[in-house]
A and B are shown apart, each in its own frame.
Chain A
Amino acid sequence: MDNVLSIKDLCKDYGKFHVLKGVNLDIPKESIFGLVGRNGAGKTTLMRIITGLAEPTSGAYSIGGISSKDKKILTVRRRMGSIIESPAIYKNLNAYDNVKLQYINLGMTSFDSIPELLELVDLQGTGKKKAGKFSLGMRQRLGIAVALCGNPDILVLDEPINGLDPQGIIQMREILLRINREKHTTILISSHILEELSKLATHYAFIEKGEILQTLSSHELMGRVRKASRLIVSSTELICPVFDREGVEYKVENEETIDIFTDITATRIVALANEANVEVRSISDNNESLEGYFMNLVAKREGIS
């Protein structure tokens, strides 16, 4: 798969503070690339550099094969849309004019496709209502519409679902999946809501303290996450000694819930529970989440350092 965006040894310092420390990253074409990291890990700084809002201290990146050091990068940027932190929209203009302004920024002369774009983000009926009077979800969707002007090849979205209600999150997810599927747009996205990110991303990069810890595809991630069975019993206290004796790897969540990481059949679990005179109420799959995987990764790194 071709890379639409490549980052090489990118560093960013603010005085003595190193925000990015030699970041290397390749974003495959038509992927939804999730950037996962804690607050202050360097996600937003990385995105700001890619979109041209900040200059790197050293290193470079290339968009569609054009290096950031090349003057042609300004032309290539027309093929990129972005939302960094919150949508950059004019609150004193309506949705149509906000999108039209972005068309003008892109040098486009035909505005026929604006209604279609507004329909894509479900803002077709907003009329003359000023963006300043929009709800947060509507502003986020307008931000997406502005970012989508000119049918960009790559979309850079920093926390696009921040502050949205559950319905807004679902709506945003559907829009992004549709854009990726129908327009073949590559999406680089960061979010604190990792569960939501896991429903979207085809690839991941884990970033911590300005360094990329790991990059992998969602298939690779599925293979690496710890598989677990969640057991709800009458008493975890009684069953634990039996599991210890049998060498079963487990983690007690509370008095009634226990996660088992050893590959063991449900029949065997029930047999062990009977032996401990414990009632089994339910057994279900509870594989390690993206959040859990990331936290383990960070914990391992901190253990090393």
Chain B
Amino acid sequence: MSRALKSALFRFFRTKWFFKVLIFSLLTGLIIILNTVTTYYAFVFYKRPRYLDREFLTICMIGVMVILPFLIAIFCTSFTGNDLNFRSINNKVTTGISRKCIYLADLTVVVVGTVIGFAVTTGVIFAYYLFCPTRGSQRIDAHIIRIVIYVLITCIAFAAFNTLMQYFFSNKLFAIIVTLLIIPCIIVCSQVLEESLNVPYRYYVENEETGEGMWVLNPEYVGGAPRKVLTFVYDTIPFGFQNFIDEGSSKFDKSMIAGAIVVTATTAAGLQVIKKRELS
């Protein structure tokens, strides 16, 4: 494992990916701040600038969750995908490094890159929040920290999924397309679930002739076991934006467990893929 890891880390630094990750995540952080501040100050009441509060951080973290996976996908494709594309992985196999170690080393470096990118992006956002002169009195609390951990775990899960896709598909372009399509798919899925769960249980109907009104059960309301299933799925998949707002719920814990399961499952699948894969 040490040979594979040293080799992957050497490549990470020598191909300047370390610096590229730093620069791109710094830019991502600045773009998110700029975008959020613009949106935030649009809600100006009584022509007075609004103080930055905890909600600002929440919106920024949603931005991180949406943008960072794209950067992770590009980094992962260039790092892991090139190893397969240049067939340089063959040099590791022929020197007796086990395929399992090659996969785990690549995954480790991809995760390290993801964590660095996340730390820089989040660091820039938090630095802006803490040192901004229009900051409100609210401090960073447990809920914000939970959001940060949640987004980090989601990014790591995404990196693990991305690494699997690179090894699963022979064509790195195809792999990145599939990976990038996953992000909008999950966002749409989250929104559909959110909308279906927010359908009111009943609604009030007024008889035009008599003027009498009555409560009628909404036929579109999903109840019983299907609701439990939908709630569970919504709670565990990323991009459920309601999750960011609701405080003190167990949704974050469920999502974090789901993220950990994704990392474990994709790693296990990746180890099988590389073991069975015929290298050209």
Residues of A whose CB lies within 8 Å of any CB of B are 48, 51-55, 73-78, 80-82, 84-86, 88-93, 97, 100-102, 104-107, 146, 150
Contact = CB atoms under 8 A, between A and B. Distances in A.
Given A84-B90, A88-B91, A89-B88, A105 B97 contact: yes
Interface string B86-102: 11111111111110000
B82 interface: yes
Contact of B96 (A53, A75, A92): A75
A213 to B, nearest CB: 26
Contacts of B3: 104-107
A100 B14 CA distance: 11
16 contacts: A48-B279, A51-B90, A52-B93, A53-B94, A54-B279, A74-B96, A80-B94, A88-B89, A89-B86, A89-B88, A90-B15, A90-B88, A105-B7, A105-B91, A107-B3, A150-B95
Nearest to B92: A105
A190 B259 CA distance: 49
User: Which of A53, A86, A93: most chain B Cβ within 10 A?
Assistant: A53
Given A85-B280, A97-B14, A104-B6, A53 B90 contact: yes
Contacts of B7: 101, 104-105
B221 interface: no
A77 B89 CA distance: 14
A55 B276 CA distance: 9
B87 A92 contact: no
Given A53-B280, A55-B278, A105-B7, 17 more contacts: A51-B94, A54-B278, A54-B279, A75-B96, A85-B280, A88-B86, A88-B90, A89-B88, A90-B11, A90-B86, A91-B86, A101-B7, A101-B88, A104-B6, A105-B95, A106-B3, A146-B91
Contacts of B11: 90, 93, 101
Interface in B50-84: 82
B92 to A, nearest CB: 5
B201 interface: no
Main secondary structure of the interface of B (DSSP, over half): helix
Contacts of A51: 90, 93-94
Given A88-B87, A90-B15, A101 B96 contact: no
Contact of A86 (B15, B82, B87, B97): B87
A228 to B, nearest CB: 41
Contacts of A106: 3, 95
B90 A100 contact: no
Given A53-B90, A88-B86, A97-B14, A78 B95 contact: yes
Interface of B: 2-4, 6-7, 10-11, 14-15, 82, 86-98, 278-280
Contacts of B86: 88-91
Contacts of B10: 100-101, 104
Contacts of A73: 96
A150 B87 CA distance: 20
Nearest to A143: B91
A224 to B, nearest CB: 34
Contacts of B89: 88
Contacts of A85: 280
A131 to B, nearest CB: 9
Given A90-B11, A93-B14, A97-B14, A81 B82 contact: no
Nearest to A87: B87
A91 B280 CA distance: 17
Given A75-B96, A92-B15, A107-B3, A102 B90 contact: no
B77 to A, nearest CB: 13
A101 B11 CA distance: 8
Nearest to A84: B90
